[in-house]
Structure 1
Amino acid sequence: MIPYGRQNISEDDITAVVEVLRSDWLTQGPGIASFERAIATCCQAEHAVAVSNATAALHIACMSLEVGPGDLVWTSPNTFVATANCARYCGADVDFVDIDPETLNISVARLAEKLATAQNAGRLPKVVIPVHFSGRSCDMQAIAALGKQYGFRIIEDASHAVGAEYQGVPVGACQYSDIVVFSFHPVKIITTGEGGMLLTNDTALAKRLVRLRTHGIAQSAGELVSTPQGPWEYQQIELGYNYRMTNLQAALGVSQLERLPQFIARRRELVRQYHVLLADLPVILPLASEESAWHLYPIRVPAERRFEVFSKLRAADIWVQVHYIPVHTQPYYRNLGFNWGDFPEAERYFSEAFSLPLFYDLTDEEQRSVVRLLREALS
């Protein structure tokens, strides 16, 4: 079987984790701070806060920006449900902005139109969460300009985009956002098994994120509300969660991060080869980009043939996958009032798309087999 994504674990990765297993620090330990510093340096950000997964990161990102009941959060319908759910965890309402048919990211034009309408209705979003689908950054400069005009905060869901760039700067630098979120799930660019990271250039936000990931507890003198009775004292300042990353995960992350340029280079090479190998087939290829991290390689076929072609590839052990079912069409969100037809570009893309295998260990021979079987399925 050739899956759509797969982690690469080296002997150095294994050694790094085994060293932690032989140490005194399995859960919380110095490796977490090392991983945070390494990610912050890599992305040119001031602060990085490691958490248990990207969903947890999105949740406390919303909390840190004071999202709550009565607030409104907008995001893309072309994403995993967690991007919308994080606002619902905070009691906020969610709405969506349709995608650009070429980039498959949130459409800046549709966003501008919707903001103008929302301003007239007196119901602007408190936070907008652009999603860097497949590893390609959204047009963050344009979104940030709208944020300044209409007064909303910005969380970048960069779960697909570790190692990507935007305008020559690493995604994660927070040039045009308050917070950036990464995922380290095994099918992502680098992995910690499960795990996530928040990046920000706001020191106050970073301190609150650290507190929220650990039950809302503070121990440093500047955060305590009363004089401590001794060095043992901790104080719960607010309601937080146990969203901490383990030292084991952090050790794997540090080791994986050392190979990030290698991972990105191979993915980009495979994408260039796909573009050549698929050029004569009746499929729509993803827009070329030398700045994308290329977490996914989604192609589009005629909607009436998608199920047939998908099924033939699966039967041939090419484990293609659909990314994503539009969030607003999920039963939970339909119960909130959304319907098929609300965001036609996202729905059109979904009806035609599936992702071909793309991962570091995919060989040239395996890639040619994928293309050959796709060609047969389409014939």
Structure 2
Amino acid sequence: MIPYGRQQIVQADIDAVVDVLRSDFLTQGPVVPQFESTVAQRVGSAYGFAVSSATAALHVACLALDLGEGDWLWTSPITFVASANCALYCGAKVDFVDIDPRTYNMSVEALEKKLEVAKKIGRLPKVVVPVHFAGQSCDMRGIRALAEVYGFKIIEDASHAIGGTYLGEPVGNCRYSDIVVFSFHPVKIITTAEGGMAMTNDPQLARRIGLLRSHGITRDRAVMTHEPDGPWYYQQVELGFNYRMTDIQAALGLSQMARLDEYVAARHSLANRYDKLLEDLAIVRPWQHPDAFSAYHLFTVRISNRPGNRSRRAVFEAMREAGVGVNVHYIPVHLQPYFSAMGFRSGDFPNAECYYSEALTLPLYPTLSTQQQDTVVSSLREVVKA
């Protein structure tokens, strides 16, 4: 089976991990801050905090922004559930903003209309979480302009997007947001096996994220309630979590960062080849906004559900039978049973639901061979035309 996504582990990665295994520190050692510094410098942010997953990063980001009971977080319905769950962890409520039908990112137009209504009824969001779907940045300049009018904070869910750019600058620099979150899951652009990172330029947010990922414990005398009892002393000053990343994971990530540009270039080369090979097929290929340079985490096509066409489900099942591990990204979050119990219904976000009914993710990862890609294309061509 050709998978839809796959990590690449080379000897340099293995050597980096083994070096840590032979060192004095497996966790809370020097490699985590090296990894954080490398990512922060690469994307142009002041601070980076490595954590155990992107979900953990979203959670501490919400807490750092004081999201809590009575507050609202808005995000895209086309995302993994973590983009919404992070609000629920904090006791806040969740709502969604429909997507742009071309980019599949949060629609700025839909956001503005929803904000106008929310202001009238006194239900403005405290936090908005735009999701850079498939690695292509949202219109962050437009979202930031609305934040300045309506007063909400912004967490960019850039889980798909490290290595991408927006308006010529790296995704992750926090120019248009308060916090940016990356994911390092094995199918993402680079991997630490499991892991994530929260980026910010705000020193106060940085202090809180650093505390919250590690039990709320500090050794910083400046934030203690009294002078330390001795050099061993620490204080818990907030209720935090054990969301730390190990040095083993950070070593893998640090090694992978050396190939970030290579990985993104390989993804673009494969995506461009898909575009050429599929241009005569009756499917919708991904559209790229000129303001963004995608990291191309996913290559998602749309199979038209018009009468007479083969259904997306039929295409999915036939592709799997042909040994091609296609996938679907994503089931709209508001249609999940847990969220339906909150009152969300089919029809609430029509662009997202229309997209979902047609979406099919094709294999895309740096080590996908030309032969494998040809197999994907020939299988899709045969299945769709059938």
| TM superposition score category, shorter chain reference | over 0.9
Q: 2:326 aligns with which of 320, 324, 344?
A: 320
Q: How far, CA to CA, are the matches of 2:2 and 2:222 in structure 1? A: 52
Which residue identity lines up with residue 84 of structure 1 in the other structure?
A
Partner of 1:111: 111
CA displacement at 1:224 relative to structure 2? 1.1
Partner of 2:300: 298
Which residue identity lines up with residue 76 of structure 2 in the other structure?
S
Partner of 2:371: 365
Partner of 1:258: 258
CA displacement at 1:305 relative to structure 2? 1.0
Which residue identity lines up with residue 120 of structure 2 in the other structure?
N
1:47 counterpart = 2:47: yes
Q: How far, CA to CA, are the matches of 1:226 and 1:115 in structure 2? A: 45
Q: What does 1:183-222 align with in structure 2 at a 5 Å threshold?
A: 183-222=183-222
Q: Is the 8 A contact 2:136 2:288 kept in 1?
A: no
Helix, strand or coil: the match of 1:3? coil
Name the % identity. 58
Q: How far, CA to CA, are the matches of 1:283 and 1:129 in structure 2? A: 30
Partner of 1:2: 2
Q: How far, CA to CA, are the matches of 2:61 and 2:283 in structure 1? A: 38
Q: How far, CA to CA, are the matches of 2:235 and 2:342 in structure 1? A: 38
| Runs of 4 or more consecutive aligned structure 1 residues displaced over 4 Å after TM superposition | none
CA displacement at 1:70 relative to structure 2? 0.2
Q: How far, CA to CA, are the matches of 2:288 and 2:110 in structure 1? A: 22
Which residue identity lines up with residue 349 of structure 1 in the other structure?
Y
Q: Is the 8 A contact 2:162 2:295 kept in 1?
A: yes
Partner of 2:167: 167
Partner of 2:240: 240
Q: How far, CA to CA, are the matches of 1:225 and 1:32 in structure 2? A: 28
Helix, strand or coil: the match of 1:155? strand
Q: Which moved more, 1:285-294 or 1:75-84?
A: 285-294
Q: Is the 8 A contact 2:51 2:196 kept in 1?
A: yes
Helix, strand or coil: the match of 2:222? coil
CA displacement at 1:72 relative to structure 2? 0.3
Partner of 1:64: 64
Helix, strand or coil: the match of 1:222? helix
Q: How far, CA to CA, are the matches of 2:224 and 2:299 in structure 1? A: 48
Unmatched runs of 5 consecutive residues or more in structure 2? none
Which residue identity lines up with residue 78 of structure 1 in the other structure?
I
Q: Which moved more, 1:296-305 or 1:157-166?
A: 296-305
Q: 2:313 aligns with which of 307, 310, 316?
A: 307
CA displacement at 1:288 relative to structure 2? 3.0
Unmatched runs of 5 consecutive residues or more in structure 1? none
CA displacement at 1:302 relative to structure 2? 1.8
Taking structure 1 as the reference length, the TM-score comes to 0.99
RMSD over aligned Cα atoms? 0.7
CA displacement at 1:312 relative to structure 2? 0.5
Partner of 1:95: 95
Q: How far, CA to CA, are the matches of 2:222 and 2:167 in structure 1? A: 38
Alignment length (residue pairs): 379
Partner of 1:34: 34
Which residue identity lines up with residue 361 of structure 2 in the other structure?
S
Partner of 1:288: 288
Which residue identity lines up with residue 34 of structure 2 in the other structure?
S
Q: Is the 8 A contact 2:178 2:200 kept in 1?
A: yes
Which residue identity lines up with residue 264 of structure 1 in the other structure?
V
